[in-house]
């Protein structure tokens, strides 16, 4: 089945994305790489650093998350970091080669007093000449506008999984509530970072539905993180069945083909990936990574390993 590469105004259907998954693996990679090369420097990867500015104690029950107050995962409830601590971390990230600094807080959504402190952090990051990104949960009326006024570049809020599978992952809020936040972010003039998590027990049709839903946004997210589940002990996903690595690569390829202009980020789970698997993901269209030794509460490859891998593959940092 031939599927034309979509534009932001002609998104594919779930059935069309499912057809991509059914292609022979080499044919899918060849097609994804051609799309990637037509829209991006095929040997350049954007590097972001992610800092947890407030860890643990979240009221939500997201089944994959170690920071839910409903789980015993060994993560202690922390306070919002001080501004100077964030500045120090951002300076270190820039010095190590990151061009975007992302900050995450374990909240259902920010309170106004906390939002004011986070806005100071955004301004500090911008003063360093870095792109800024936040993930704070659900945004209320007027909050996206405040963040935009502070100069925030990206707001991250993932769809997590296909809509029909969402209640198998989260029950304390709906996926439509997440979509409402993304609508607020876009209306305020900010860019969107939005993707999902693969390997939570979903089937291929759910993955195809997720990719189709992301590609169906008008415009699609500028940044699309594709996370491989990190099965954290103490979470409901602790014993999720292992995902075929080629299925993960297929998801990267499907994201690239359906969202040709977006940055597709190889996100959580890289610590468990071989260099060879990551290279396949880069060939399939991934052109962004999280760079640094931690992603909120989970491990990430050491910067030195990423530098060595880039050198072996002839990749350069954006």
Task: Choose, from 31, 100, 133, 194, the residue flagged as catalytic.
Answer: 133
58 classed as catalytic: yes
Of residues 31, 47, 65, 71, which has the active-site annotation? Answer: 65
Selecting among 31, 47, 62, 281, the annotated active-site residue is 62
Tell me, yes or no, if 281 is annotated catalytic. no
108 is catalytic: no
The residue from 71, 102, 256, 281 that is catalytic is: 102
Instruction: Of 292, 283, 318, give the one whose Cα is nearest residue 33.
Output: 283
How far from 229 is each of 65, 246, 273, CA to CA, in Å? Answer: 10, 15, 12
Catalytic position from the list 100, 178, 207, 265: 265
Residue of 31, 58, 178, 281 marked active site: 58
193 is catalytic: yes
Q: Which tokens in the block code for residue 149?
A: 């006024």
Q: Which of 31, 193, 250, 270 is catalytic?
A: 193
Mind telling me the catalytic residues?
Answer: 58, 62, 65, 102, 133, 193, 265
């Amino acid at each position: 089945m031939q599927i034309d590469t979509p534009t932001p105004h002609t998104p594919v259907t779930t059935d069309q994305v499912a057809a991509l998954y059914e292609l022979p693996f080499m044919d899918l990679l060849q097609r994804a790489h051609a799309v990637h090369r037509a829209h991006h420097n095929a040997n350049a990867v954007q590097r972001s650093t992610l800092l947890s500015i407030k860890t643990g104690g979240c009221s939500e029950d997201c089944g994959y998350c170690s920071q839910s107050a409903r789980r015993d995962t060994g993560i202690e409830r922390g306070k919002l970091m001080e501004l100077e601590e964030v500045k120090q971390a951002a300076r270190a990230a820039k010095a190590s080669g990151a061009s975007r600094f992302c900050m995450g807080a374990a909240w259902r959504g920010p309170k106004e007093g906390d939002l004011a402190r986070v806005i100071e952090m955004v301004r500090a990051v911008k003063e360093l000449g870095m792109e800024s990104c936040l993930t704070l949960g659900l945004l209320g009326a007027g909050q996206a506008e405040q963040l935009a006024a502070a100069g925030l570049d990206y707001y991250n809020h993932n769809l997590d999984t296909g809509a029909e599978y969402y209640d198998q992952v989260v029950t304390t809020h709906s996926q439509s509530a997440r979509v409402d936040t993304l609508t607020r972010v876009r209306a305020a003039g900010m860019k969107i970072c939005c993707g999902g998590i693969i390997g939570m027990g979903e089937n291929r049709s759910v993955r195809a539905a997720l990719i189709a839903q992301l590609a169906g946004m008008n415009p699609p997210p500028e940044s699309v993180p594709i996370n491989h589940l990190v099965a954290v002990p103490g979470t409901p996903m602790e014993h999720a069945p292992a995902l075929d690595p080629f299925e993960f690569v297929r998801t990267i390829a499907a994201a690239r083909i359906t969202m040709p202009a977006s940055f597709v980020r190889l996100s959580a789970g890289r610590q468990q990936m071989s260099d060879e698997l990551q290279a396949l993901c880069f060939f399939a269209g991934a052109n962004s990574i999280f760079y640094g030794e931690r992603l909120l509460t989970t491990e990430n490859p050491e910067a030195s390993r990423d530098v060595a891998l880039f050198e072996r593959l002839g990749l350069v940092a954006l």
